[in-house]
Amino acid sequence: MQMMIAVTVTTKSIYCLNSWKKSVSKPSNNFFLTFCFILFFQSISAQIFLRLDEYGTTDAIRFYAGDKLEIKTKEFPDIWLARKIDYFIPESGTIVFDQDFYKVEEITAVRKVNKTPKFLGNAMMQFGLVWMTYGGVLYLSGADRGISWSDMFIGLGSVISGYTLKKFASKRTYNLGSKYTLRMIDLRMVVPEK
């Protein structure tokens, strides 16, 4: 009787082991494991970032590796440099971009691009140009209803408001100094050497 129970338990455990192997090899489980590993490694790289603070508020803007950044430096004070952040070297306070590298102290201004007003501005300008193009085609074709002044104002107003939105609302400039500060934050657990 004891031998039969042992054989049954062993057979059931082998069956469970085989069914577990089959369930692990399903594509959905492999996707889940891959997703977990990606999140783990993403959180490791997100432990070092740039933080743009405004004096007197608790709000801050964070820039991570892979973000695009427009900066002015002490070396080129009149030129905006558009760069993509590759990685950070927190020991020396260096930001490594795709083309070059700068220390945090060398940056004098940061410009942040807001994509929503830029997208809306482009859409409004496109709408206005299409509106005026169709009106012009109707006018040239000699249709009963040609383009009127109100149609021209709709198209022209849309183009002007889209350009204004794109030009003035899509970018915000932060001049570093007394009001704004840029610093590198390192949240990794580093064991000091003895």
Number of domains in the chain: 2
Same domain, 103 and 57: yes
In a domain, 103, yes or no: yes
Which of helix, strand or coil describes residue 130? helix
pLDDT tens digit string along 69-85? 899 999 989 999 998 99
Q: Residue 173 pLDDT > 60, yes or no? A: yes
User: Are 148 and 52 spatial neighbours (Cβ–Cβ below 8 Å)?
Assistant: no
Domain span holding position 160: 117-169
Average pLDDT for the chain: 79
Q: Which residues contact 152 (CB under 8 A, 6 or more apart)?
A: 132, 135
Whether 148 and 72 map to the same domain: the answer is no
Using the predicted structure, report yes or no on whether residue 10 has a pLDDT greater than 50: no
Residues 62 and 92 in one domain: yes
Q: Are residues 97 and 70 in the same domain?
A: yes
Phi, psi at 34, each rounded to 5°: -65, -40
Res 37: pLDDT: 59
Q: Is the per-residue pLDDT at 164 higher than 90?
A: yes
Pairing of strands 107-113, 171-175: antiparallel
Question: Is 71 found in the same domain as 97?
Answer: yes
More confident residue, 49 or 146: 49
pLDDT digits (tens, 9 = 90+) for 79-120: 999 989 998 988 888 999 888 899 999 999 999 888 899 899
Structure confidence at residue 145 as a pLDDT band (50, 70, 90)? low
pLDDT at 148 > cutoff 70: yes
Q: Are residues 105 and 121 in the same domain?
A: no
pLDDT tens per residue, range 17-45: 444 445 545 556 677 767 655 655 554 55
137 shares a domain with 98: no
